[in-house]
Structure 1
Amino acid sequence: MSNATDESSFSYICSNNDGDLTCAESCVGLEECQTCACATVAIDAGGPWGQFMDVLFGLLPVIVLVYVTVKKNPWPTTFSLPFAAVMLFFIRLMYYGSDVILTCGAVVLGLHEALSPISIIAGAMLLFETMEATKCMPYMMREMKALTDGHPISECMLIFCFAYMVEGASGFGTPVALGAPMLISTGHPKFESVIVLLIFNTFATVWGAVGTPIWFGFAGLATEEEFLEISYKSAICLAIAAFILVPLTLWMLVPFRVVKKNIIFIFLSLLCVVGPALGISFVSYEFPSLIGGMVGCGLTAILINFRLGLAPLDPEDMPERDPKEIGSVSSHSLVAEYYSAVNSNGLKVPADDGEDMPHKELESDKQENGMNEEPQEAPPILSNEGPSEEGVEANLKIATENDDDPEMTATGGDNNNESEIRPGTTHVNSVEDFVDAALGPRKPFGMAYLRELAGRTFPIWGCVLVLIITRIPQIGIRRYLTLQTPYFEIVFNTYGTFRLSASLVFQLIDILTFPNLNWKYELLYIPFVIPFFVISVATMVIYRKSMTETTPLKVFSVVAQRLYNPLIALLGALALVQLLLKVSTEAPAYILGTILAQWFRQGFVVIAPLLGALGSFFSGSTTVSNLTFGTIQVIAAESIGVSKTSMMALQAVGGSAGNGICLNNIIAACTIVGLNIGEGAILGKTYRAVFSSTTISTIVMLALFIRFK
C-alpha cells in the first residue's frame, strides 16, 4: 500500500505489511502495537459527501448549541450542552466514520476532564462563602469604599487591575471567580457585574498562568524567540483594544456621562496596567499579566487616593445600587443577617424587583395605624463595641423587645429624638450601619489598622501569594506538585490503567485501550486544594469567633448544593470539547480548520482569531484553544504566505477574547454569585466585546506586522 499522504485530508490506521488489517489481532499489548513496524495506510478523514458537508456536519452541533442558548426561551445548559455532545457523538460515528473506541473514549475523557473546572468552581465558592461567614468580605468592601469614597469608576478599575493580576498567577477562569463577587459586593447588579468581569478577563488571558497558553499551547510549533514575538504582538493588540473597549464596558454599570467625566482616570489606570504588561512582553512571555496587574493595583490605588483624574460625582450621577447586595454574595453574609433580622422583627423587606425600600410600611398599614406621615420602623440596636461572642443575634433581640415602644420607634428625621437613644447603643437605619456595628468602628491609620487590614484581607492576598509561589517555575515548588512519578497503578481492563503518583497526580492511561488517550488531574496544582481549600480552612480557624451565624459544616453544605447544575452542564461541555479535539487529523476541529484554510486563503487572517475564540468558547481555556488550532494556524500561514508568529498571535488573542463567551466561565461565575439566568442572556452581551476585540486585533496586526508575499 502507498505511504503517500496529505495530512490536511487524511489520518492513519495500522496495517501489516501484507495489507491485511489484522495486525491488532496479533498484538500482545498497547506498547507493542504503538511501536510495531506496521505500514502506514492513508484513509480519508472526512465524510463521504465532500468538504462542504464536512464543514456543515462539523459545525451543526455548534449551530444548534448557539441557537438554543440565545433564543427567546433558551434551553438550560444542563440540557443543551449534553444534547450537543450527543449530536456530535453520532455525527462522528455515522458521518465521519470515526473509530468507535476513539469516539467513546473521547466521551469518557471529557467526563473525567470536567473534574478540573468543577473543582475550581467549588474552591472559589468555598473561599467566598468563607469570607462572608467570617466577615472578611464586608470588611474589605468597607475599606474599598473608604478608599474610593463610593466612586464606581475607581471601584471598577481597581477590580480590573486585581483580575489582571490574578490571571497572571492562576488562569483557569479564577479572575472572574474572584472579581465578580467583589464587584457585586459593592452594590452593583449581579447580571451586569458578571458581564463586566467576563469582558475584563479577555485582556490578559493571552498569557494565562505564567505564560502557559504560549509556551505550552504552542509547544513544538515555535522557538523561544518566536514565543517572544507572539507575546509582544499580542500585547500591542490587546493594549489598543483595552483603551477602546474598557470605557465602553464600564458604561454597563454607570451612565456614559460619568465615564466621559472620568475618562482621564480610566486611561491613566489602564496605562498603569497595560503599560508595564506591554513592556514586559518584549522580554518575557510568562509574567506580563502578573507584573502588569501588580503594578496596576498599586498605582491605581495611588491615583484614587490623590483623586487624579477622578471627577466628583453629582448625586444624580450615582448609579443605582441594590442595598441587598452591598457586601454580600452569600446567604451567610452580614447583609443576609440584616434582612433576616428585619423579617423576624416584622419589618417590611423590599421586593426582589427593588421597587419597595426597607423600613417603609405598606400604605394599608399606615391607614390602619391612623398615621398621616410615613413612620420609620424600629431598627436593630447594636453595641458600638462590635460583635460579641454571641454575635449580633443578642443585640437584635433588644430591638425586637422595643418594637412596641413609640419612643424607640421614632428615628431618622427628628433630631429631638436623639436624646431618647440609650447610652452605648446606636440606631441602625441601613445595611451600611448594620455592617459597621457588627465589624466595629474603623481604626485610625496605624499599626492596629495595618494588622486588621492584613488579617481581614488574608483570604485574597494569601491566595495570590500561594498561586505565585506554586506557579513560577524558578521557585521550584511547581514541579513537586506535578510529579507523575513515582506512582502505583491499577489496571481496569479495557477501561484503562489508573495511576496515582506521590504528588497526588491522578491519571487514566490508554482510555478504552485507545493508545495515548489519557486523562490527568493534578490535585495539588489545580487551584482547588491549593490555595482555595487551604486558605478557606485557615481563615475559618483564624476568624472562628466571627462565625456567629453559621458553622464550617453549613458553609461546605451550601457549596455542595450549588454545584449540582454546573456539574451536569460541565460534563456535557467537556464531552463535546473532547469529541471536537480527539484525535490528530481525525478530529472534527482539524478537519474544519484545514478546509476553511483552503477556502479562505489570505482571507483566513480574518478567520484566525475567530477560531481562537471558538476554541475558548467550548474549552474555557486559551491554552486548549492554542493546542487545538495552533497547528492549523501555522499551516495556513505558510500556505498563504503570512508571518507565522503574527497568525499565532491572532490565534492567542482570539483565544483570550473567547474567554468572554466561554460557557465554562459563564457557568462558574453565575454559580459563584448565585445568579439564576440563562447563559444566552449573558452571551448576548459579551459577544459584542469579543468580536470587537478580535476585529481591532486583526486591524492592528494587518497594519503593523502581517506581510503578504
Structure 2
Amino acid sequence: MALFVSIFPIVLLIYLMVKRNALPSYVALPWIAVVVLIIQFVFFGTDISIVSANVTSALVAVQTPITVIFGAILFNRFSEVSGATDVLRRWLGSINPNPIAQIMIIGWAFAFMIEGASGFGTPAAIAAPILVGLGFPPLKVAMLALVMNSVPVSFGAVGTPTWFGFGPLHLSDSQILEIGSMTALIHTIAALVIPLMAMRLIVSWTEIRKNLIFIYISIFACVIPYLLLAQVNYEFPALLGGAIGLLISVLAANKGIGLSKVENTLDNSGVSKSELVKALFPTGLLIGLLIITRIHQLPFKALMNDATTWFNVQLGSLGLFEVSQGLIFSLKNIFGTPVSASYKLLYVPALIPFVVAVLISIPVFALTTTKTKDIFMGSLKQTKNPFLALVGALIMVNLMLVGGDQSMVKIIGKSFAHATGEYWTYFASYLGAVGAFFSGSNTVSNLTFGSVQVSTAEITGLSATLVLALQSVGGAMGNMVCINNIVAVSSVLNIQNQEGTIIKRTVVPMIVYGVIAALVAVLIIPIFFNV
C-alpha cells in the first residue's frame, strides 16, 4: 500500500500531461502537489509543521530555477531586440547553410560546452532560440535540445552532479574519479546513437545519412576529449570537451567536410567582422562570466559561495533569516523544524551571468530606455506560468522526500531495487531518470537515490562505483523528460501547453539510452575496470 500511494502521484502526473486534451504543467503540477500533501497528512500522518516547513522551503527554492529562466528569457529577448541574434543567424548561414551543420554546431557542441560551464538547463535556453531564429520549428527544437543535452549533464556545472551529488556518501576522491570515468565511458558510447535520434526529431533520415561524416566528426570532437579528461578529472570533461568540439565543428563546417551541399537561403550578406564581433559580444561575455565564476582555482567561486554569516534575524516562528558574506539568503529552522532553504544570489546563473551580461551590453547596442523597459517587463510576464509549474513541482518533490528512509521517494527506489535483485545493473539508470524527472536535476537525483543505489549494490554484491555511475547516467538521460527542463525550454521559446507532446517524443530516446547504459555496464566496463 505504501508503494501504491507513493507512486500514484507520479503516475497521475504523467497521465494528466500526456492524455488527450492534456493539462498544462502550470495546472497539473500544483494539483499533484495538493495530492501529495493530502497523502502526507492522511496516509503517513506527517506533522503539520513538517509539511508547512517543506512547502515554505519549496517557495524559497523555486527562486533558483525561476530566476535562471527569467535570466535566459531576458538575454534572448535582448539578443532579438538588439539585432545580435539576426547577425548571428546570418553568420551561421555563411559558415555553412546546411541545417545539419547548424544543428550540430549549436544544438550539440555549443550546448555541450554551456552545460559544462553552467548546467541548470541553461544550454537549451541559450541554444534553442538561435536554432528557432535560423528557421527551425520551435516545438521540434525544444525536443531536440532536451535530447541533445544529455551526454554532458553528469559533468555539468563543472562536475556538480558527480562531486556534489554523491557528496553525502563520503566517497574517497579515487572512488569519485572512478565513477566519473565509468560515467563518461557510458555517455560516450551512448553518444554514437543519441544525437542521431535527436536529429531525427527535426530532419529526415535521408538528410542524416547524407551528412553522417560531419555528424560524427562533431560528436567525436566533443566526446573524445571528454572521455580522456574524465580519466583524470571529474570537473572539466564537459566544459573543455564542448569547447574543443565547438571549435572543430565550426572549422569542419566552414570547409564543408562531410556535409552535402545546400543552397544558402539565409541572408548572409553584409556581415562584417565588426558586426560579428559586436553580435558575439553578449554571448562571449555570458560564457566568460560563467567560466570564471565556476572554476574553483579562481577566487570568484569561493567568494560567491561564502557561507560565513554577515547578519541574521529571527522572523518569529517562521525561522531564522540569514544573509552570508557571499550573499546567500537562507531561511533556517523553518517553523521550528530542521528544514532550511537558501538562494545563492551571486552563484545561481541568473543575476550573473544573464542579467549582468544584458546590463553591460545595453550601452554597447545603444538601446533606448523604452526598449530596455519592454525587454525586462516582457521577460517578467513570460515567467508567470513557469513559476506556477515550478512551485508545484518543488512542493511535490519536497513532500515526497519527507520521512528519510521511509519517504515516498525511498519507498519507490527500494521497491524497484529489491524487485530486480542481482539484475539491478539493467535497471539502475532508470531509477536515476525517475529522480531527474521529478526533481529536474541530475544532482538532486544523485543526492536522492545515491544511498539507495549503494545499499542495493551491497545487498546484491554488485560494484558500488558501477551502480553509482549508472545512477549518474540515469540522472543525465532523465533530463530529456524532466518537467523543469521542459518548462524552461518551452518558456524561452514561448511554446504553450505542449509539455505532454514533448514527453511522448523524448521518452523514447531516454529508454534507448538506458538500454545502452545497461549493455555497456555488463559488456564493456568489466574489460576496463575491476568490477
Question: 1:295-333 CA distances to partner (integer Å, 9 max, x unpaired)?
Answer: 0011111111111111224x7xx9xx9xxxxxxxxxxxx
CA contact (8 A) 1:98 1:586 kept: no
State how far apart, in whole Å, the 1-side matches of 2:490 and 2:306 are. 34
Aligned match for 1:110, one of 38, 58, 71? 58
1:442 aligns with 2:271: yes
For 1:154, what is the secondary structure of its paired residue? Answer: helix
Is the 8 Å Cα contact of residues 134 and 539 (structure 1) preserved in structure 2? no
- 1:646 to 2:466 alignment: yes
Deviations 1:426-468 (A, max 9, x none): xxxxxx66x96xxxx233xxxxx1x432221011111111111
2:124 aligned to 176, 180, 202, which one? 176
1:151 aligns with 2:98: yes
Amino acid at match of 2:219: L
Alpha-carbon distance, 1:672 to partner: 0.8
Q: Is the 8 A contact 2:68 2:348 kept in 1?
A: yes
Q: What CA distance in whole angstroms lies between the structure 2 residues aligned with 1:607 and 1:673?
A: 34
- For 2:277 and 2:309, how far apart are their aligned partners in 1? 39
Tell which has more relative contact order, 1 or 2 (C-alpha 8 A, sep 6+). Answer: 2
Structure 1 residues 500 and 144, CA gap change in structure 2 (3 angstroms): same
Q: What's 1:491 paired with?
A: 314
1:557 positional shift: 1.1
The runs of 5 or more residues in structure 1 that have no matched partner are 1-52, 322-431, 444-448
Q: Is 2:425–2:521's contact at 8 Å kept on the other side of the alignment?
A: no
> Is residue 513 of structure 2 the alignment partner of residue 693 of structure 1?
yes
Match of 1:398 in 2: none
Cα distance in 2 for residues equivalent to 1:583 and 1:112: 20
Report what 1:163 is aligned to: 111
What amino acid is the match of 2:188? A
Q: Which residue of the partner structure matches residue 291 of structure 1? A: 240
Task: Identify the residue that residue 530 of structure 1 maps to in structure 2.
Answer: 352
Q: 2:229 is matched with which residue? A: 280
Give the Cα–Cα distance (whole angstroms) in 1 for the partners of residues 417 and 530 of structure 2: 15
Moved more, 108-117 or 584-593: 584-593
> Match for 1:503: what amino acid?
G
2:137 maps to 1:189:
yes
AA at the equivalent of 1:703: L
1:225 paired with 2:169, answer: no
Query: In the alignment, what sits opposite 2:302?
Result: 479
Contact between 1:641 and 1:708, CA under 8 Å: does it hold in 2?
no
SS at match of 2:59: helix
Per-residue CA deviation, residues 204-238 of structure 1 (Å, 9 max, x unaligned), is 10111111111110014221111111111111111
- Say whether 1:658 aligns with 2:478: yes
Deviation at 1:291, TM superposition (A): 0.5
Q: Supply the distance in 2 between the matched residues of 1:100 and 1:442 (Cα, whole angstroms).
A: 62
Who is 1:636 aligned against?
Answer: 456
Partners in 1 of 2:27 and 2:518 — Cα distance? 35
| Alpha-carbon distance in structure 2 between the residues aligned to 1:591 and 1:442 | 58
Give the corresponding residue for 1:510.
333
Per-residue deviation, residues 466-507 of structure 1 (Å, max 9, x unmatched): 111001111121111111223211211221111112321100
How do 1:61-460 residues align onto structure 2 when only pairs under 5 Å count? Answer: 61-148=9-96, 150-159=97-106, 160-221=108-169, 222-313=171-262, 441-443=270-272, 449=273, 451-460=274-283
Shift of the 267–132 alpha-carbon distance from structure 1 to 2, 3 Å rule, reads same
Shift of 1:81: 0.4
Q: String of CA shifts for 1:63-101, please: whole Å, max 9, x gaps.
A: 100000000110121221011111111112211223332
| In structure 2, distance between residues paired with 1:111 and 1:586 | 24
Deviation (angstroms), 1:527: 0.6
Asked which structure has the greater CA Rg, the reply is 1
* 1:622 and 2:451 aligned: no
Alpha-carbon distance in 1 for matches of 2:93, 2:530: 52
What do the CA deviations read for 1:503-545 (whole angstroms, capped 9, x no partner)? 2110000111112x11010000001110100100111111015
- Which consecutive unaligned segments of at least 5 residues does structure 2 have? none
Q: Which amino acid aligns with 2:276?
A: L
Per-residue deviation at 1:242? 1.2
Deviation at 1:708, TM superposition (A): 12
TM-superposition CA deviations, 1:95-152 (whole Å, max 9, x none)? 122333222211211122111100000000110111111111101111011001x100
Distance between the aligned counterparts of 1:486 and 1:228, measured in 2?
A: 33
User: Shift in Å at residue 699 of structure 1?
Assistant: 0.9
Give, as a single letter, the amino acid of the residue that structure 1 aligns with 2:312: E
Q: Distance in 2 between matches of 1:56 and 1:610?
A: 19
Displacement of 1:704: 2.5
Distance 1:649 1:555 in 2: 42
Identify the structure with the greater helix proportion: 2
Q: 1:670 aligns with which of 480, 484, 490?
A: 490
Q: How far apart, in 2, do the equivalents of 1:677 and 1:189 lie?
A: 16
Q: Normalization by structure 2: what TM-score?
A: 0.96
Matches of 1:642 and 1:268 in 2, distance apart? 36
- Are the aligned partners of 2:98 and 2:260 in contact in 1 as well (CA < 8 Å)? no
RMSD: 1.8
Give 2:285's aligned residue.
Answer: 462
SS of aligned partner of 2:22: coil
Percent sequence identity over aligned pairs:
34
* 1:232-287 CA-partner distances (Å, limit 9, x unpaired): 11111111111112123212222211110111111111110111100101001100
Matched, 1:582 2:406: no
Once residues 287 and 592 of structure 1 are traced to their aligned partners in structure 2, the CA distance between those partners, rounded to angstroms, is: 33
3-state SS of paired residue (2:23): coil
Pairing 1:559–2:384 present: no
> Could you tell me how far apart the structure 2 residues matched to 1:554 and 1:489 are?
36
The answer to whether the 8 Å contact 2:24/2:497 transfers is no
Distance 2:437 2:129 in 1: 22
Aligned length: 527
Whether the aligned pair in 1 keeps the contact of 2:282 and 2:358 (CA below 8 Å) is yes
Give the TM-score, by structure 1 length. Answer: 0.72
Which one of 370, 378, 393 corresponds to residue 573 of structure 1? 393
Contact 1:261 1:311 survives alignment (8 Å) = yes
Provide the C-alpha distance between the structure 2 equivalents of 1:512 and 1:702, rounded to a whole number of angstroms: 48
**Structure-2 separation of matches of 1:252 and 1:599:** 35
Aligned equivalent of 1:680 = 500
Residue identity in the other structure for 1:125: I
CA contact (8 A) 1:209 1:471 kept: yes
Matched AA of 2:491: T
Hey, what's the Cα distance between the residues in 2 that align with 1:605 and 1:578? Answer: 28
Q: Using the alignment, how far apart are the partners of 1:662 and 1:538 within structure 2?
A: 33
1:128-185 Cα shifts (integer Å, max 9, x gaps): 111111111101111011001x100100110110000000000000001101101111
Distance 2:276 2:335 in 1: 53
- What is the alpha-carbon distance in structure 2 between the residues aligned to residue 592 and residue 249 of structure 1? 30
Equivalent position amino acid for 1:97 in 2: G
**Equivalent position amino acid for 2:105 in 1:** L
Structure 1 contact 608–650 (Cα < 8 Å) conserved: yes
Cα distance between partner residues in 2 of 1:684 and 1:539: 39
SS, match of residue 310 in structure 1: coil
| Alpha-carbon separation, structure 2, partners of 1:597 and 1:694 | 16
Shift of 1:583: 4.5
